[in-house]
Amino acid sequence: MPHATDVTEGTMETRGLEPVPDHERTGRVRDLFPTWVAANISVLLLTLGASLVVADGLNFWQALIAAVTAPVIGFGLVGFIGIAGKRGGAPGMALSRAVFGQRGNLLPGALIWVARWGWETINAVTGAYAMLTVLDICFGIGSSTPLIVATLLVFVAGTFLISGLGINAVQLCNKWAAYLFAVFSVLVLVHLIVTTDWAAVFARPAGSTASLVAGIGLIAAGGLSWAPAAPDFARYLPRGSSSRGLVASTVGGAGIVVLPMVLMGTVMAVSTPDLAAAADPVSFLGAILPMWLAVPYLLIAVVGTLLINAMSMYSAGFTALTLGINVPRAWAVSVNAVISVVLGLILMLAATSFLGSFVAFLSLLAVAFSAWIGVFGVDMLRRRSYDTDALMDTTRTSAYWYRGGFSPAAVGAWAAALAAGMVFTRAGTADSSWFAGPLADTWPGRNGLGWAVSALVAGSLYAALPKPGCGDRDASPAPDHASGALPVRSSGVRRPGLFPEDATPRLRD
């Protein structure tokens, strides 16, 4: 966890897009573990686990395979992208300027910002539903439109407060939420072991391999949405921190939550098959669990979902800054907070199937993020350092101006990948289709793999196209003015492996 120096005023982080100088990079790799635990404390994982049974027709063992594989894929990519934060000391969408160009970065930046609106809305609605369920269980207060508005406002206000305070507040809350969630998740797991009809669970027939692939893709898609934010939480790590450790902490923190939560949702779906069609994805917990366990578990779920939203809004604030919204980071967060309230009310008052809307949204979200991941990830394999002055210089004098402010290779590969992914994507609920690409009925389309097509096309095209040469200081490294150190020079010989930094002595784990 970073220590408060000139980064903060009191307890509020004031640093915006500017890279973190070396003397302030006091974070530890192991502190990322509770960060990614907290990023997954959501009852939505229970509903996703239920969808593996109800929608995909998988049995328990197939759900286990999906729950193990998905976080390795999704959060493995998140951890890998997070290495860029350690290298450059800046937020992900600021580092993205080095890839797409100062103007070119506005295109994926705007799309990712809009996608965050949807993600934060889904989380806000989940948190509000959890609060409504607690009020119903404890006090018999039924849901009503005024109460829906009130709970949503309270939830979003809490999110805004924590994300506005900055990274110290986010990481401190994440740590304690992870501890509480672990304790009560064990209690829920024990309750399910004792009360579940295991004969019925294990009697379910196996689903198709295609359905298993679709299930893995669905769960992994939730992880991919964190990739652009990963550098935001790693930028306070010293340059010499272990890259392998960073990836391991990310995958481990996510996996230790995703695995049991998805499996619990799978088991719950046997006794509550109507979960997939529910407009409220939380109230079923009150019917399955005894009150003494349901209430504290739901309250922790509220806190966990609030922290997920706080992390998302924290990163969204940086994205807003890269788009030219020139206000302090804490106030940039307020834009997303207002949007979450408006869209949340629409979803809570109008949606007939929350899970169907959520799954459809994930399908579209994953394609948008995957196109960026493919280009940015391949660029990371080529690039070992970032020119910190050039990142902050948005004029024609920037080394990352390229051609008219655009990197033709990066922007072209991203646009082509986005189009390719959407061609294979179908999004909608059981009752209606929101969008269907021309190839949505092919094998990748039927199995929700439009995001994988997008990532592969983006990475392959960008790797094949020539790197921008004009004005690219990576060919002649400039001093890192944030730290006074020179970036790592290329000797013409590639360092082996995905983690070249780990070939040198580590500064700190």
pLDDT one-digit tens code per residue, 50-77? 888 877 789 999 999 999 999 999 999 9
What is the reported pLDDT for 480?
Answer: 41
Token pair for 181: 């969630």
DSSP character at residue 406? B
**Domains, in order of start, for the chain:** 27-363 (1.10.4160.10)
Distance from first CA to last CA of the chain, Å, rounded?
12
pLDDT one-digit tens code per residue, 399-416? 999 999 999 999 999 999
What is the mean pLDDT, run by run of 10 residues, along the chain of 509 residues? 44 78 91 91 83 85 96 96 95 96 95 85 86 87 88 90 78 82 85 88 90 89 90 94 96 94 88 63 74 86 85 86 79 81 83 62 80 96 90 94 95 96 81 81 86 95 81 42 39 49 53
What is the reported pLDDT for 352?
Answer: 58
CB atoms under 10 Å from CB of 429, counted, come to 18
Question: What Å distances lie between residue 217 and 238, 354, 481, CA to CA?
Answer: 33, 19, 42
What is the reported pLDDT for 449?
Answer: 86
What is the reported pLDDT for 170?
Answer: 80
Provide the 3-class DSSP secondary structure of residue 91: coil
What is the reported pLDDT for 10?
Answer: 42
pLDDT one-digit tens code per residue, 199-224? 989 988 999 998 899 899 889 988 88
Question: What Å distances lie between residue 131 and 195, 350, 502, CA to CA?
Answer: 25, 19, 45
What is the reported pLDDT for 309?
Answer: 86
Q: How far apart are CA 162 and CA 173, in angstroms?
A: 9
What is the reported pLDDT for 216?
Answer: 92
